[in-house]
Structure 1
Amino acid sequence: MPSHDAPFDYESAVMACARGERHALRSLYERESRWLLGVALRIVRDPQQAEDVVHDGFVQAWQHAGTFDPALGSARGWLYTIVRHRALKAVRHPGRVISLAPDELARWSDAVQGDAEVEDRGLDAGSLERCLDRLEAPRRACVVHAFVDGFTHEQIAERLATPLGTVKSWIRRSLASLKECLA
């Protein structure tokens, strides 16, 4: 398995997938599958279902690699977005196979791309924790519930007894604050 610390050109690999170069998909899989499995597992909480989510995510990435737009975010973030979104859909709609429309990727990429960028820049967990600690407790809880626990905005609103619009605003503003803090 390749070293996760070695430089890797994700954008070139995704572009190669768009050209039908299977070795690029294999390289992406070898490099990221275990990390993506962790993301999926945190959300679906079932090892077999998490493996299915990751597999389906790579199939989807292969099929839609031509839709990747570097202007919207990093290729690595795009890949994490696909898997995270598929995992969330699997939890929300058990037993249903749901494919992600390419235009939906743009909506999710900023949030997940932030996670990938933190790791790409070599920031440690302490930096993220320090920035999370700067958020007010309810806002921090919203971010953690959304991105660690995989809860929907509706589930977070119910759990925190807070209006849905407020939860959405808190998450959006908190992600902007985290991005600024980690910059």
Structure 2
Amino acid sequence: MPETLFDYPACLSACARGDQRALRQLYEQDSSRLLGVALRIVRDKALAEDIVHDAFIRIWRGAGSFDPVRGSARGWVFSVTRHLALNHVRNQHREVALGEEHEQLAADTVTFEFPARSGQMHTCLEQLDPARRTCILHAYVDGYSHSEIAQKLGTPLGTVKAWIKRSLTALRECMA
């Protein structure tokens, strides 16, 4: 089912009413993407699979708490998964070791490139200032905390927080 046709709010409402088919449809729609989100954060496939499983349990149990005023239904689903993965990393007090090749690449990378220039999200991201775009991608793709981003970029924490907040507002406006 194409993303543009999938009705996330209706799906979450159905889950809140106990409709297991709705949960199955949501799983079929986004489980692979959610696995990608979790995998980027925890860097362990088996652990990422467990996190996605736990996320769907949490989505099932908490679907009734989704508030469309606070954001999109799809965003809520992804944030449940992202927060579970980040919480796991934080609770384990561990750092994920990268190989030398990846560490050098991360050290040399100042901005992100977008080889695939299709899609509205890429267009909206490209409209952001490169430093702000980097903050957003580090936060929501790499799973870095605000303080980790500040340290990585050598930028004050308050500045990073402000950039992320303003950039999210700009992205919401661009995507609307």
Q: Tell me if both proteins adopt one fold, taking TM over 0.5 as the criterion.
A: yes
Aligned counterparts of 1:170 and 1:68: Cα–Cα separation in 2: 26
Structure 1 window deviating more from structure 2 (152-161 vs 139-148): it is 139-148
CA shift at 1:43, angstroms? 1.6
Question: Structure 1 residues 29, 126: closer, same or farther in 2, change over 3 A?
Answer: closer
Question: Structure 1 residues 125, 6: closer, same or farther in 2, change over 3 A?
Answer: closer
Residue 45 of structure 2 corresponds to residue 52 of structure 1 = no
Letter paired with 1:155: E
Residue 73 of structure 2 corresponds to residue 84 of structure 1 = no
Residue matched to 1:175? 168
Residue matched to 1:153? 146
Alignment RMSD, CA only?
2.1
CA shift at 1:158, angstroms? 0.9
Per-residue deviation, residues 63-119 of structure 1 (Å, max 9, x unmatched)? 112212223223222111111111111222228xxxxxxxxxxxxxxxxxxxxxxxx
Residue matched to 1:109? none
Aligned counterparts of 2:4 and 2:175: Cα–Cα separation in 1: 22
Residue 9 of structure 2 corresponds to residue 11 of structure 1 = yes
Aligned counterparts of 1:181 and 1:73: Cα–Cα separation in 2: 14
Runs of 5+ consecutive residues of structure 1 not aligned to the other structure = 96-123
Residue 160 of structure 2 corresponds to residue 162 of structure 1 = no
User: Structure 2 matches for 1:65-104, cutoff 5 A?
Assistant: 65-94=63-92
CA shift at 1:126, angstroms? 5.4
Aligned counterparts of 2:19 and 2:170: Cα–Cα separation in 1: 39
Aligned counterparts of 1:58 and 1:127: Cα–Cα separation in 2: 27
Percent of counterpart pairs with the same letter?
Answer: 54
Residue matched to 1:62? 60
Aligned counterparts of 2:3 and 2:175: Cα–Cα separation in 1: 20
Residue 141 of structure 2 corresponds to residue 141 of structure 1 = no
Residue matched to 2:28? 30
In the superposition, the TM-score normalised over structure 2's length comes to: 0.76
Runs of 5+ consecutive residues of structure 2 not aligned to the other structure = 94-116
Aligned counterparts of 1:60 and 1:78: Cα–Cα separation in 2: 11
Aligned counterparts of 2:44 and 2:157: Cα–Cα separation in 1: 28
Aligned counterparts of 2:139 and 2:2: Cα–Cα separation in 1: 26
Which runs of at least 4 in structure 1 moved beyond 4 Å after TM superposition?
none
